Homo-oligomer: A and B are copies of this chain.
């Protein structure tokens, strides 16, 4: 890399030639928000040389060309809501923030699609299409997240089980490549067998192969009716096993989440709202959708019938919309509630039938390491979120620091990942690899698979300027 040859001022001046002054930050105080993502601890903080906020694809291409010329690494960033340090700057590198490319460009009601710039947030997208009576099924947790980042991480969320992750909803992407070329991948078409699926290669590539500037997304009509069930069980094992029974019976819920009650009680305190189930150790949260209330209530009856053999303690239907909203808010705020004591949040994905045995293994880890591992997740698709708490955590109360947490946690993480791999899983279901998990990727997917990824990276970004060091080193 040649960046040592070029002063920060030189770079900033050259960038101003491209974007004008308005879109460049380089004072230390302004840079702080761009030094990290939402990963809980502060070990992945790097201060960028500068933050650039282009407003057009041509400006993005100009910046990439400049960085390529100067050998300066460039890290694309949306809202910074990621959890794997994927958008943390590289040493000596700049941040290319897409936040000003925030326009909803077109809603196509005929073809049920929307075209947005990369800096449009999820909540902005939901708002724009709601007015047109349209619906975007994916719902990764944070509605402040921007589309470019969601695509770059292949974000999932609770609704992925029925409708798929964000990858299934992308019809087209604009991507600026390392040589400044602007690719228009896909389009507003629903299928294609016209050459390699570069679009899918860009999804989940975490800014290492190209900068996503625009996306065309598939939409649907909103479900005519939705119902929310909360079903408590005596043990988490029973809750998780019940999910397999539903799928085997052909019931595919809109979302199906498992949550331990100790986790729920922590978020109840934060929000001052109450979870409907009082009995038992864990609940399933099941959301059903369909064209009309009658169909969905029939589905709910089907759920109750199938689960009768699984010892549910009760089956609670949230009658009013407000109650449904409370329940969803409690689920969606779990991360916030646990965050103050979270050392690391895991995101493994394993075959659904193996969730319960993995959770039993987590209990042995808790005992052996003296570290609390509150766990919940997307039971339908095998994506499990476990918090390694660096404080005590009992009955939902975040307590005192755990002495020697970091060292113990390093061993615990190794064991947790080894267990996920043994069960045929991956270390990230939806958060991405970034810096946080890259050390474990070769063991997980194989050295020869990572070698192929490296070869593609090298072919498309020979100077290594696009977010180098993320996913693999």
Cα A394 to Cα B119 in complex, Å, equals 54
> A455: nearest residue on chain B (CB-CB)?
B459
> B441, A195: Cβ atoms under 8 Å?
yes
> B191, A381: Cβ atoms under 8 Å?
yes
> A188: nearest residue on chain B (CB-CB)?
B351
Asked whether A193 and B351 contact (CB < 8 A) given A112-B247, A181-B448, A200-B201, the answer is: no
> A152: nearest residue on chain B (CB-CB)?
B193
Is A92 close to B, CB under 8 A?
Answer: no
> A380: nearest residue on chain B (CB-CB)?
B190
CB-contacts of A422-452 with B (<8 A) = 424-433, 437, 441, 444-446, 448-452
Count of identical protomers in the assembly: 2
> B193, A433: Cβ atoms under 8 Å?
yes
Of A22-30, A69-77, A121-129, A202-210, the one touching chain B: A202-210
> A111, B352: Cβ atoms under 8 Å?
yes
Asked whether A184 and B111 contact (CB < 8 A) given A193-B431, A429-B191, the answer is: no
Asked whether A195 and B459 contact (CB < 8 A) given A349-B190, A351-B189, A352-B111, the answer is: no
Is A2 close to B, CB under 8 A?
Answer: no
A455 in complex: contacting residue of B190, B203, B460, CB < 8 Å: B460
Interface residues as binary, A447-465 with B (CB distance below 8 Å gives 1, 0 otherwise)? 0111111011011100000
The 5 closest A-B pairs by CB, nearest first: A221-B250, A200-B200, A110-B353, A459-B459, A190-B381
Give residues in A with beta carbon < 8 Å to B.
Answer: 108-112, 153-156, 160-161, 164-165, 167-168, 177, 181-185, 187-198, 200-201, 203-205, 209, 220-222, 224, 244, 247-250, 252, 291, 295, 298-299, 302, 347, 349-353, 380-383, 424-433, 437, 441, 444-446, 448-453, 455-456, 458-460, 471-472
